[in-house]
Structure 1
Amino acid sequence: MPLNSEARSLLDLMDAVGAPPLDSLPPVAARDARAEFAAPILERCHETVDLDADGVPVRLYRPAPADEVPGLLLWFHGGGWVLGDIASHDNICHALARRAGHAVLSVAYGLAPERPFPAALDDCIQATRWAHEHAGELGVDADRIAIGGDSAGANLATVVCHSDPPPLVFQVLVYPLTDARMTTASYDENGEGYFLTASSMRWFLDHYLSGDDGAADDPRVSPMLAADDVLSSDPPALVITAGFDPLRDEGIAYANRLADLGVATHHVHFPGQIHGFFSMPHHLGDARAALALAAQSLADALAQRDPPPA
């Protein structure tokens, strides 16, 4: 399938703007450059509250006045562990909360290289456990907690699932990075010209793994390398992938492996799309479709169910 025409127009616009490649910039400058392209908020939830999860900044998105106790989605933003923050994914979290009818907790985990691996992972684990422990204060159901993210955020979500988390009922993985060895065919096919490049991925990984711990073949970095018994205990998953994405093949392979191990997995592929498309509903129809899919899948997974008969 050819590149989606809207995505092609967006890439042409980015070329016309002439922004320098991310991997040519120091991290702080790259963050400033990316922040200039923050997406507008198209759908607002009922309210947001900024909180402190024992030292990790988080933002709670409440879908509506508290007539019922909703479930909760913890969201870890993308950005290669180097870029992004709560503001960069504010539009996505507003929309997910409003559409799904459940609360969202966006996590501002520490960014590399200032805080290299495993700092981001540790922050996400801490925020997940904190949310479960403080569910009553957050006004959410501790028995209906899901986890998710996009790109590097999806990578963190997968590894949190493998790190003795509190009970999780669902995971939303949007073009997840699951194999940091960068050896799949989609790196060769899509490594240039489609927003995320192979050289940018190397730049991200070099910063993320710049400390004294972790490597590309560590399952905490490459969850595809986790043991079968670890993956088979994962919660049900929605996995979204894009055809013109260097991460395409590892996302597809991860979805297939979960399914093969008996994890209820719904994999939806957008063959004409680029990495990052999910965060661009103001530009791309496929992003609006993917967002609707994620919200409905979350609503279904977190639906209040009647207790079993006595």
Structure 2
Amino acid sequence: MALDDATSQFLSVVAEQGGKPIDRMTPTEARGLGAQLEAMYGPGPQVLNSSDERLPTADGGEFGVRILSVDAPRGVIVYFHGGGWVIGSPDEFDHLGRLLAVRTRCTVVLVDYRLAPEHRYPAAADDSWAALRWVAEQNLADGPLVVAGDSAGGNLAAVVAQRATAEGGPRIDLQVLVYPVTDCDTNTATYVDPDNQLMLSRDAMIWFWDHYVPDPALRTRTNASPLRAEDLTGLPPAVVVTAEHDPLRQEGEAYADRLRAAGVHVESRRFLGQMHGFFSMVNVLPGQQEGLDYVVGEVDRVLSGSAARHQ
């Protein structure tokens, strides 16, 4: 299926504006792209409270979390933003986080993990784990704990879900993986498909990997490539979203298949006519609303089931 009309029109406007592809930019230049998109998204809906906290790291550094609170939360969603471990911030995902908070009636915690190349692997994975443990200790809600993320954030959500299972907690009730990075193989069919070289290209993804994990030997470790884990038994139920025109589609769907084969309950959907990045493009692409509706519905199903079990 071809790209939907709205996406094609958006890409035409971007092309008319010119500019270098991301893989020819410096990390600082690439981070400026996020600010441009943030202006397009506009402000999100009101929440009960928004606050930022700084958390320490094991190596003496620190990273941030943004807590978007709602009244009488049904659960907590810990959200890891996309951006190839190099770009992205809570500011750029604030509108999406607010939508998730309001529509699911959950407290949403946006994790501002440290970015590469200033902080290379495994900094983002370690920060994400520390954030998850901190959230679990804070008792921000009595209901389920959900980890979620898109792209590199989906990678981090999968990584912490695996680690929580291996180390006996915190208990995660659902993992939401939106077009996640699950493997370091950039030679799959969807990676090399010329129709998929859009907002995220194969060259751009190689650029991200080179900044985050410059040593190829380390990329196959499971906290970088969760698809390579030997055993996925016992992992939390999962929602996996993929986009038709996305270099990462094959590895995302392969991860969903492996979870199912390990006995994990998985709900998955490939969004036809969509490209990588559509889920976060609030007020830009109509497909974003459809993707959000799907994720909210799946989260609500888990929340409702949890409430029923506690009655």
Common fold: TM-score over 0.5:
yes
CA deviations 1:39-94 (Å, max 9, x no partner) are 2234333321112334331011113x3xx343100000000000001111111100
2:63 to 56, 61, 65: 56
Q: What does residue 43 of structure 1 align with?
A: 45
Q: Is the 8 A contact 2:245 2:276 kept in 1?
A: yes
Q: What does residue 213 of structure 2 align with?
A: 209
Cα distance in 2 for residues equivalent to 1:283 and 1:107: 23
* 2:2 maps to 1:2: yes
Kindly tell me the number of residue pairs found equivalent between the two proteins.
299
* 2:108 maps to 1:78: no
SS in 2 for 1:195: coil
Q: Is the 8 A contact 1:186 1:246 kept in 2?
A: yes
Q: How does 1:52-131 map to 2 (within 5 A)?
A: 52-54=54-56, 55-63=62-70, 65=71, 68-131=72-135
SS in 1 for 2:307: coil
* 2:241 maps to 1:234: no
Q: Is the 8 A contact 2:44 2:96 kept in 1?
A: no
Query: CA separation of 1:130/1:243 partners in 2, compared to 1, >3 Å: closer, same or farther?
Result: same
Which consecutive residues of structure 2, in runs of 5 or more, have no partner in the other structure?
A: 57-61
- Give the AA of the match of 2:97: C
Q: What does residue 298 of structure 1 align with?
A: 299
Cα distance in 2 for residues equivalent to 1:276 and 1:258: 23
Cα-Cα RMSD: 1.8
Question: Which deviates more, 29-38 or 126-135?
Answer: 29-38
Cα distance in 1 for residues equivalent to 2:192 and 2:24: 20
1:191, CA displacement in angstroms? 6.9
Q: Is the 8 A contact 2:87 2:115 kept in 1?
A: yes
Question: Which deviates more, 256-265 or 198-207?
Answer: 256-265
* 2:221 maps to 1:218: yes
2:186 to 174, 177, 182: 182
Query: CA separation of 1:189/1:52 partners in 2, compared to 1, >3 Å: closer, same or farther?
Result: same
CA deviations 1:220-274 (Å, max 9, x no partner) are 111110012xx12211111000010000111111111111211110001112110
* 2:200 maps to 1:199: no
Q: What does residue 243 of structure 1 align with?
A: 244
1:178, CA displacement in angstroms? 0.6
- Give the AA of the match of 1:41: P
SS in 1 for 2:177: strand
Q: What does residue 283 of structure 1 align with?
A: 284
Query: CA separation of 1:308/1:82 partners in 2, compared to 1, >3 Å: closer, same or farther?
Result: closer
Give the share of equivalent positions with the same residue, in percent: 37
Query: CA separation of 1:167/1:88 partners in 2, compared to 1, >3 Å: closer, same or farther?
Result: same
Cα distance in 2 for residues equivalent to 1:13 and 1:86: 26
Query: CA separation of 1:185/1:50 partners in 2, compared to 1, >3 Å: closer, same or farther?
Result: same
Q: Is the 8 A contact 1:46 1:98 kept in 2?
A: no
Q: Is the 8 A contact 1:73 1:147 kept in 2?
A: yes
Q: How does 1:246-261 map to 2 (within 5 A)?
A: 246-261=247-262
Which consecutive residues of structure 1, in runs of 5 or more, have no partner in the other structure?
A: none
Q: What does residue 13 of structure 1 align with?
A: 13
- Give the AA of the match of 1:245: D
CA deviations 1:119-141 (Å, max 9, x no partner) are 00000000000111111xx3x12
Cα distance in 2 for residues equivalent to 1:214 and 1:100: 40
1:214, CA displacement in angstroms? 6.2
Q: Is the 8 A contact 1:101 1:299 kept in 2?
A: no
Cα distance in 1 for residues equivalent to 2:173 and 2:101: 17
- Give the AA of the match of 1:62: S
1:192, CA displacement in angstroms? 5.8
Cα distance in 1 for residues equivalent to 2:55 and 2:269: 33
1:308, CA displacement in angstroms? 6.1
Cα distance in 2 for residues equivalent to 1:48 and 1:275: 28
Q: Is the 8 A contact 2:279 2:291 kept in 1?
A: yes
Q: What does residue 59 of structure 2 align with?
A: none
Cα distance in 2 for residues equivalent to 1:171 and 1:298: 9
Cα distance in 1 for residues equivalent to 2:191 and 2:309: 47
